């Protein structure tokens, strides 16, 4: 297939402890095209975050393959991982927090310095560059965390419940802003979320996982009729309720905690 950036093939993973083996993922297969924004939903504890860790290369699967068909054998995928918490250090300014990854990876140079400054100006953080994290709102801190991730110029972004720590109103605003930033940058992204509405509003494609041991229940392309690119427009799209009901039915019997 053309433009496939990520291909997950028959992935299996189990946790091992003194108490025995716990099967987390079984025969997981899907593909993601370059530039797609994909959401993964499923019951709590089904292995969504485990799947992201495997894709990121933080853990090794028991069997199966994670392939990046567009890369040559000598190339490694450039992956950015954004977690639920912003993990900003209070003893560093916002600017110093944002360039931390660049410093660690010895990539802080003239090019990345200009890139960081551009991101901070574009997304409303430049005037806060000398502030400490405690002086910023939760939404502003998540934007800083995203810029820190984007500064390393990843091709694939993994978002693990990245908006769930925010209050509902801030979550709506920040998730919409961050989705627009990701699309504007042309990044391929995978979002793990418990929120069906968030998945529909943000994603081009939704992958539904079953209760653990997780397998792929369904894969649903999202096509909304939009008046503009706002999150409110997505949630008011005429197709929105139909998608919600479809995904809810797929999850029914697996989870009782999904939210509208």
Enter the tokens of residue 256. 């009782």
Q: In angstroms, what is the C-alpha Rg of the chain?
A: 19
| Residue 77 reports pLDDT greater than 80 | yes
Nearest to 172 by CA among 138, 145, 146, 147: 138
pTM tops 0.85: yes
Q: How much is the pLDDT for 258?
A: 46
* Average pLDDT of the residues of the chain: 89
The span from the CA of 144 to the CA of 129, in Å, is 10
Residue pLDDT, tens place only, 215-229: 999 999 999 998 877
Q: Among the residues of 72-214, which ranges form H helices?
A: 94-98, 100-104, 110-122, 138-150, 168-184, 196-202
Q: How much is the pLDDT for 10?
A: 97
Structure confidence at residue 72 as a pLDDT band (50, 70, 90): confident
The span from the CA of 119 to the CA of 153, in Å, is 12
Q: How much is the pLDDT for 142?
A: 85
CB-count exposure of residue 72 (10 Å: 0-12, 13-18, 19+): exposed
| Residue 95 reports pLDDT greater than 50 | yes
Angle at 60 between CA 55 and CA 66, to 5 degrees: 40
68-77, 198-207, 224-233: the lowest-pLDDT one: 224-233
| Residue 232 reports pLDDT greater than 90 | no
Q: How much is the pLDDT for 244?
A: 95
Structure confidence at residue 200 as a pLDDT band (50, 70, 90): very high
Structure confidence at residue 230 as a pLDDT band (50, 70, 90): confident
| Residue 256 reports pLDDT greater than 60 | no
């Amino acid at each position: 297939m053309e433009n496939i950036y990520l291909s997950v093939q028959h992935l299996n993973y189990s946790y091992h402890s003194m108490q025995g083996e716990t099967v987390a993922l079984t025969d997981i297969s899907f593909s993601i095209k370059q530039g797609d924004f994909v959401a993964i939903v499923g019951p709590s504890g089904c292995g969504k975050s485990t799947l992201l860790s495997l894709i990121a290369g933080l853990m090794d699967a028991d069997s199966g393959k994670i392939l990046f068909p567009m890369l040559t054998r000598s190339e490694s995928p450039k992956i950015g991982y954004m977690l639920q918490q912003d993990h900003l250090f209070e003893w560093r300014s916002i600017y110093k927090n944002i360039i931390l990854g660049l410093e660690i990876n010895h990539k802080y140079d003239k090019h990345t310095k200009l890139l960081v400054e551009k991101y901070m100006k574009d997304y409303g953080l430049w005037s806060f560059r000398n502030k400490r994290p405690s002086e910023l709102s939760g939404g502003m801190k998540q934007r800083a965390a995203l810029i820190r991730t984007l500064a390393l110029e990843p091709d694939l972004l993994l978002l693990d419940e990245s908006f769930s720590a925010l209050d509902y109103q801030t979550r709506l605003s920040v998730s919409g802003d961050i989705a627009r930033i990701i699309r504007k940058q042309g990044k391929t992204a995978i979002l793990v979320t418990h929120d069906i509405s968030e998945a529909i509003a943000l994603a081009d494609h939704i992958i539904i996982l079953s209760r653990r041991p997780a397998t792929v229940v369904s894969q649903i392309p999202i096509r909304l009729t939009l008046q503009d690119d706002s999150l409110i427009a997505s949630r008011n799209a005429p197709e929105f309720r139909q998608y919600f009901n479809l995904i809810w039915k797929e999850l029914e019997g697996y989870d009782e905690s999904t939210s509208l």
